[in-house]
């Protein structure tokens, strides 16, 4: 019996070989629904197949088999930002779940941590901390390292040390022909440039190597006010944040928390404002930087000296999966008119389904081009905005998305017109993250490493020519 006697997904299962048969799931298989479920539970991704390789050799074989059968491959570790991928259609896609490749090793002599492509941040943070060092992780312990990094990566040390993508020193990637290549400053340098902020269109990242930083602790935590008392905090924040020193990275959120047991009793079911973040400096310097906000009498103040392993949870992000719908933008600034517009949508008098509306502080090292950096050396603007709500049902998801769009539409007069793609959980024009010149370069690199268009990504970079025609 030949490949032609089967549908593509059936043929893929046969070609991939017996070693992979228990880890490839087609629609109707007992393991298909569990395997296809993304971290964002509101995303109903229904691919042609889901594969769960455990070795780099299995990844290579799967990419080659997909190419033979006419299927595309979408690498996915956790599926935090799976929405845009599902929106674009998965009928001819095999989702390659990388979670089986999750080893973390530290080379203290080189000051490098090596992370396999399916790892999440918590074990990486713990491995670095065991050597008195830190990595540029995100605001949640269970976000996938690869996806976060390929999209740029803003964390709690970012204003001092820059985007996570620019702490990457090497990557190992399975490219479109199934071969494994190393990309660093010397070898496959164009691919290395593209991986640092260019997203997941260039192959299956099976390993990453990061520089570690000599940080054993930070002054981190949160300040909390009742939302009814928080407009003065927001105005103070908008005046303070643009010129704040590099050693502090923060966010401001207006939150409407549900009355569920997972939320601590003092916050459960309440409407609050939260200022959280971290300071890379002495306790005295941190107290100086936070003094203006402490003078506004927060009802909860958890800021203090903590080990780096505690910093991953100060943002209170949900873990283990949640249904969520959102909208995002990047702001050039937040003048009084912007504050008024934001507060009208999310303040105590607003009628909204949103769980949160966040202003993530940019500037500092995030706003300056990183020397020798990748395609995304920095982010221009003063704030990255994310507004979102729970999407437990389709109707709730539609309402949350509509309310989130109301926030970003209200702030549109103050937006840069660019996108931070890690916050974009719907399909957007990805060119807006890079500009025309870098976009053209990314398309050329994609064409070189994925000549036949094997890979699919949540925020795709097209090849220069697809279907014989130039792409936009």
CA distance 79 to 229: 36
pTM: 0.94
pLDDT band of 6, cuts 50, 70, 90: low
**Token output for 187:** 């070898």
Give the pLDDT band of residue 322 (cuts 50, 70, 90): very high
What domains can you pick out in the chain, each with its CATH number?
104-214 (3.30.465.10), 218-423 (3.40.462.20)
Neighbours of 161 (CB within 10 A): 25
In order, the DSSP letters of 2-24 are -GGGS-HHHHHHHHH-GGGGGGE
What average pLDDT score do residues 275-292 get?
98
Task: Determine the pLDDT at residue 312.
Answer: 96
Neighbours of 110 (CB within 10 A): 12
Nearest to 448 by CA among 179, 150, 202: 202
Q: What is the pLDDT of residue 2?
A: 45
pLDDT tens, position by position, 23-73: 899 998 999 999 999 999 999 999 999 999 999 999 999 999 999 999 999
Please say if the pLDDT value at position 3 is more than 60: no
CB-CB contact of 178 with 59 (8 Å): no
pLDDT tens sequence across 72-91:
999 999 999 999 999 999 99
The runs of H, that is alpha helices, within 196-313 are 231-240, 283-294, 308-311
């Amino acid at each position: 019996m030949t490949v032609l006697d089967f549908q593509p997904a059936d043929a893929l299962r046969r070609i991939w070989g017996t070693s992979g048969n228990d880890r490839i799931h087609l629609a109707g298989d007992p393991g298909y629904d569990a395997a296809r479920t993304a971290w964002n539970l509101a995303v109903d991704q229904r691919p042609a197949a889901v594969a769960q390789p455990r070795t780099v050799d299995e990844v290579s074989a799967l990419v080659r088999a997909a190419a033979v059968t006419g299927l595309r491959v979408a690498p996915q570790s956790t599926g935090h930002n799976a929405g845009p991928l599902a929106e674009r259609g998965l009928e001819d896609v095999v989702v390659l779940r990388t979670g089986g490749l999750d080893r973390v090793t530290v080379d203290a002599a080189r000051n490098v941590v090596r992370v396999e492509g399916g790892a999440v941040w918590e074990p990486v943070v713990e491995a670095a901390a065991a050597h008195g060092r830190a990595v540029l992780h995100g605001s949640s312990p269970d976000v996938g390292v690869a996806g976060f990094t390929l999209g740029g990566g803003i964390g709690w040390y970012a204003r001092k040390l820059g985007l996570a993508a620019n702490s990457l020193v090497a990557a190992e990637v399975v490219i479109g022909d199934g071969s494994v290549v190393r990309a660093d400053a010397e070898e496959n340098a164009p691919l290395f440039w593209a991986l640092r902020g260019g997203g997941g269109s260039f192959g299956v990242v099976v390993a990453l190597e990061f520089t570690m930083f000599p940080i054993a602790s930070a002054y981190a935590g949160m300040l909390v006010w009742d939302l009814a008392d928080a407009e003065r905090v927001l105005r103070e924040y908008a005046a303070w944040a643009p010129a704040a020193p590099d050693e502090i990275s923060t966010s401001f959120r207006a939150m409407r928390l549900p009355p569920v047991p997972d939320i601590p009793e003092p916050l459960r079911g309440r409407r609050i404002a939260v200022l959280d973040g971290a300071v890379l400096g002495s306790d005295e310097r941190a107290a100086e930087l936070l003094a203006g906000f402490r003078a506004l009498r927060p009802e909860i103040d958890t800021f203090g000296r903590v080990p780096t392993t505690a910093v991953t949870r100060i943002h209170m992000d949900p873990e283990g999966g949640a249904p969520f719908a959102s909208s995002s933008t990047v702001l050039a600034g937040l003048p009084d008119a912007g504050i008024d517009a934001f507060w009208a949508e999310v303040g105590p008098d607003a009628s909204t389904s949103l769980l949160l509306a966040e202003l993530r502080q940019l500037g500092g090292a995030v706003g300056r081009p990183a020397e020798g950096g990748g395609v995304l050396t920095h982010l221009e603007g003063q704030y990255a905005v994310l507004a979102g709500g729970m999407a437990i049902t389709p109707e709730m998801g539609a309402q949350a998305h509509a309310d989130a769009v109301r926030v970003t539409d209200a702030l549109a007069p103050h937006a840069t017109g660019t996108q931070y793609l890690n916050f974009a959980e719907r399909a957007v024009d990805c060119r807006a993250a890079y500009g025309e010149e870098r976009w053209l370069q990314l398309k050329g690199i994609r064409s070189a490493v994925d000549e036949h268009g094997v890979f699919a990504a949540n925020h795709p970079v097209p090849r220069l020519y697809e279907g014989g025609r130039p792409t936009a």
